[in-house]
Chains A and B, each alone.
Chain A
Amino acid sequence: MTSAEDRPAVVEMRQIKKNFGAVQALRGVDLTLKKNEVLGLVGDNAAGKSTLMKVLSGAYIPDEGSILIEGEPTSFSSPMDARRQGIEMVYQDYALANNLDVASNVFLGREAVRTAIGPISIMDNRFMEQESKALLNRLKIDITSVRLKVERLSGGQRQAVAIARATAFDAKVIIMDEPTAALSVAAIAKVLDLVSKLKDQGASIILISHRLEDIYQVSDRLIVLRQGRKVSDTPVEGDIHQFRERVVAYMVGARNDFAEGGIS
């Protein structure tokens, strides 16, 4: 990954601070995501990883700090605003409408319209079905029909639909919040496959996970947060056991020798 240094940054978060009353959830965190990079984000409970991602996805407005997308300073007023600027979040509980079919969920909130008569917009269902089908094929997601209701899918398939949905509209960044947390071993393998496939197709991804082996398998780089601070920012490399030991040491605070870019 020598070329990673030359790639432009898609997202830069600088000195992000966020307080909830007296609790300092984020105490000045920097995060850079390069183009076509998979960045792992780990940390113990309350380390601030969810808060940081909620800031990036528009759910929280930071108290201090700045966000740059492709070099341009920006801010988000809502999750929808962030989405419009190319930041897609895949939520841990999938955030799908189980009573609707796959195609409807892929296009939820962004339905293709055939004709609009005043406030009434008539949908182009055929187009949405074909596009969804093409999307599933492109990502090699194994679902027999885009007309299946989500409630009839397995957990892994639901996660795949949620991820496919995030990629359907030329996202600049895809944030995945614990995508493997609730899945069986076989389904986890499929989801990680999907992450790799997205990277191959050029996506830039931030992956939150407490499963270090998942991060190890698909990420290029890893950031460790602890008590609202970044305590490690390191390429993912080397032997998995050493990697795990090192990361856990940073997570629990046994090591605290962070210097940008390196582990000695």
Chain B
Amino acid sequence: MEGNPVLKVENLVVRFYTYEGVVKAIEKVSFFLREGEVLGIVGETGCGKSVTALSVMRLTPHPGRIENGEVYIKTDDGLVNILEKDEKYLEKIRGRYISIVFQEPGAALNPLYKIGDQIAEVLLIHRRLNYYKRALKVIEDKIWRENSSFKRRILSMQRKVCKMLIENPNSTLASILLKLPLISGLKKLIEQEVREDVIMILRDMGLPDPERVYNMYPHELSGGMKQRAVIAMALACNPKIMIADEPTTNLDVTIQAQILQLIKDLREKLGSSIIYITHDLGVIAELCDRVAVMYAGNICEVANVYEIFKNPLHPYTKALLESIPRPGRPFKSIPGTIPNLINPPPGCRFHPRCKYAMDKCRREVPRLIKVGEDHYVACHLVRG
């Protein structure tokens, strides 16, 4: 039924401990992500879309806390519950198996470093050993071809340090040795190798003149280019899962079309699974395979994208679809406002705004039930 999930979230509960009270931001959210699919998460501001995404990466912002639940991520050692792991392990997971692209590319990039160096950092964290090995190969090649015995001696010294690094990447002695004048050639060699990779990635992102972009600072790039650079950073290590948190919200429609096309192309090429968070139903229709609709910290409907648009079952999904302005049709909106999550309404959290609300809705929290092939709804009105 779930195919082959690369990500599985079960009963996730996230609360924020603020001065006004405990904000019940995410309440028992469960979903999964199949290999190679794009799962869209839609909902209004403050419904918990972004908190869900951040919690999946264990990046829940302060004063939030993950209270309960399991988040399984597929790694080379099979499914791993990352909520049980320590920070050191998470460092290995983030960027390599799962990565995130934020809404505001300007805030995601460090203004003091060159674009290229920021992407190189990701590669160096996860693939350092690879680069040492590549550098070793190059040095050994050079030794063979070198005629002057003096230079050969320097190169063999570099080889020794390189081997030291491969044995123990964190060795202090090696890192001190790297700074010595004669051996620093090795450092340059490694940097050159990384640089080539970064430029290749930048080229894949459709950035014009990647050699020049490598040496640019974030403020020199336009919004669309910055977002491409951030996507490059997220995909540098070919993670299996990418979370995109409203990556095109602040961009113009024409640039949005470019970025969406890029995401589509990259998905084909790299076969990554994507969680795409947005409030724009148009983007959802364009990009996603499956959609999860969120309201006030709950998932209220999950279905295939065709099913959501053709046959929405939850009253909130229906209302959301009707609120899209269409010419020649009166404007429809959802009455009321999003509830305060410090004191959420009892029962179904949507009941105060729902025109079909019954007594049962005020008392009991509806569970997500299966109503059809790949279609789940949490509403008392719908029976499985």
Do the two chains bind? no
Q: Which residues of A contact B (CB under 8 A)?
A: none
